[in-house]
Amino acid sequence: MTQLWVFQQWIVAGFLVVTCLIEVSNWFVLRRLEDSPALVLVPRVSVLIPARNEERSIERCIVSLLAQDYTDFEVLVLDDESTDATRAILSRLAASDRRLHVLEGQPLPTGWMGKQWACQQLLEKASGEYVLYVDADTWHHPAAVRDGASAMIAGQLDLLSAIPHEVTGTFGELLTVPEGIWALFAVLPLWLAFHTKTPFLVSANGQYMMFRTSSLKRISGFERVRSNAIDDLALARLVKASGMKWRLMDGTGRVNCRMYEGLHECVEGYSKNTYAVFYHNPLLTASICLLVLMVHTLPVAVLLTAVCGVKYPVASIWTAAGSIALSVVQWGALAVRFRFSLNLCWSWLIGQPFYVFIAFRSMVKTTTHRATWKGRTIRSTQRPPN
């Protein structure tokens, strides 16, 4: 039994060593958006924004986009049946700049989720050779469009996605928002993802996604992901499965986003789509949650109970201490690269088990059709394309 316990601890440490090595590799593979080469051609870009009840953030987003140093672009915003002041703000801004066009969203068809339907309507009205989808809660450096277009042309890409600087204004946000970026940066080996054909090894962030318009239409736009709660990942998998070229970049120097404000919004927001990340599979969800607890919580539990007098093999205690040190390094590197607070070096101790709570909450809410967002029930029925 003692040998089994020590072996289990070594498995945990081994996993953390591997994820640390993936982080080191990804640090160099993940290029920064601002490092894109100088732009030679200036293709037309349509910046597309679905907006539903975004009065809190929409003006900052639009103003930052209209201040772009790019010479040929349009901004299309679709008001998706907002019940707040979103439409009034958009109308005021559109009256002073002819590059901004406000569209009125059509009623939501059966079988579609709201965001995907809004994005599909925007695609049909876009005139650009490239389309850039951004969320209404983002705001942008003046070179955000130019650098994206440059990277698309230089890499001959069909899809470019960027990870924004995710602003965390409260401790609750710091507990939850970095979790998704950790899963990408420490678990997905980007070099392998970029150079293999398997659609499983891919990632994207819907807060900044630039497509070659013809490529997006080639995969039927958003129609094939119309009821998928993680449409960004699903679209990226479709792009890769179709043999097209994609890249993920570090956009923290060009794009900012505050997804949620406060712990309550974080819990509700992540509850609407976390279960979809696990293919709506309860066994997979439970397995991933168990792995998270074993890797990030078990070593802490060993040291705490050892201090309280529980007897463990000496090797087990040292291995647990080493595992915690690796976690601190791993989350610290994540904080530095993606501009999170250095409190992330210890907040993961709470954040990881809290993530498990959100995952199970998402599973319950999704399966009972009680997941909601902005006044609509989220009926996620599609799994990510294989």
- Chain segment 271-285, per-residue pLDDT in tens: 998 998 888 899 999
Does the pLDDT at position 349 exceed 50? yes
Which of these, 103, 97, 62, 48, lies nearest to 79 by C-alpha position? Answer: 103
The predicted structure's pLDDT at residue 384 = 46
pLDDT at 382 over 70: no
pLDDT at 379: 67
Are 254 and 278 in the same domain?
A: no
385 in any annotated domain: no
Q: Which two tokens stand for residue 370?
A: 């009680």
Q: Is 342 part of any domain?
A: yes
Question: 381: pLDDT confidence band, cut at 50, 70 and 90?
Answer: low
- The stretch 120-124 carries a mean pLDDT of 98
Identify whether residues 18 and 71 lie together within a single domain: no
Angle, CA 377 vertex, CA 381 and CA 379 arms, to 5°: 0
CA–CA dist 11, 18 (Å, integer): 11
pLDDT digits 0-9 by tens, 3-57: 666 778 889 999 999 999 999 999 999 999 999 998 888 999 999 999 999 999 9
DSSP conformational letter for 132: E
Task: Let me know whether 40 and 103 are in one domain.
Answer: yes
> Is there a single domain that holds both residue 212 and residue 282?
no
Longest dimension (CA), the chain: 73
To the nearest whole number, what is the mean pLDDT of the chain? 93
pLDDT for 2: 56
**Number of domains into which the chain is organized:** 2
Least confident of 66-70, 253-257, 327-331, 379-383: 379-383
What's the average model confidence in pLDDT over 143-167? Answer: 97
**Token pair recorded at residue 210:** 């630039």
Query: Do 217 and 351 sit in the same domain of this protein?
Result: no
d(CA 274, CA 258): 18
Residue 234 lies in a domain: yes
Side-chain half-sphere of 87: how many Cα atoms within 13 Å? 9
Who wins on pLDDT, 383 or 289? 289
Pair 237, 89 in one domain: yes
Rg (CA), the chain: 22
Residue 386, classed as helix, strand or coil, is coil
pLDDT band, residue 1 (cuts 50/70/90):
very low
Residue 377 has a pLDDT of 73
Question: Residue 115 corresponds to which amino acid?
Answer: K
Percent residues over pLDDT 70 in the chain? 96
Number of Cβ within 10 Å of residue 360's Cβ equals 16
Calpha distance 61→49 (Å, rounded) = 9
**CATH label of the domain that carries residue 67:** 3.90.550.10
- How many Cβ atoms sit within 10 Å of the Cβ of residue 83? 11
pLDDT tens-place string over residues 223-252:
999 999 899 999 999 999 999 999 999 999
Tell me, yes or no, whether 362 lies in a domain.
yes
Structure tokens at 280: 């709506």
Judge whether residue 386 has pLDDT over 50: no
CA 69/CA 53 separation, integer angstroms: 28
User: Mean per-residue pLDDT for 354-374?
Assistant: 88
User: Are 219 and 322 found together in one domain?
Assistant: no
- Domain residues for 78? 31-173+189-260
Q: Could you report the per-residue pLDDT of 282-298, keeping only the tens digit for each?
A: 999 999 999 999 998 88
The answer to whether 136 touches 49, Cβ cutoff 8 Å, is: yes
Q: Identify the DSSP state of 69.
A: S
pLDDT for 380 equals 60
* pLDDT above 90: residue 368: no
Q: What pLDDT does 314 receive?
A: 85
Give percent of the chain with pLDDT exceeding 90. Answer: 82
* Identity of residue 340: F
3 state DSSP class of 257: strand
Residue 266 domain flag = no
pLDDT at 3: 64
Whole-angstrom Cα distance, residue 150 to residue 294? Answer: 43
Q: Which two tokens stand for residue 51?
A: 């907006």
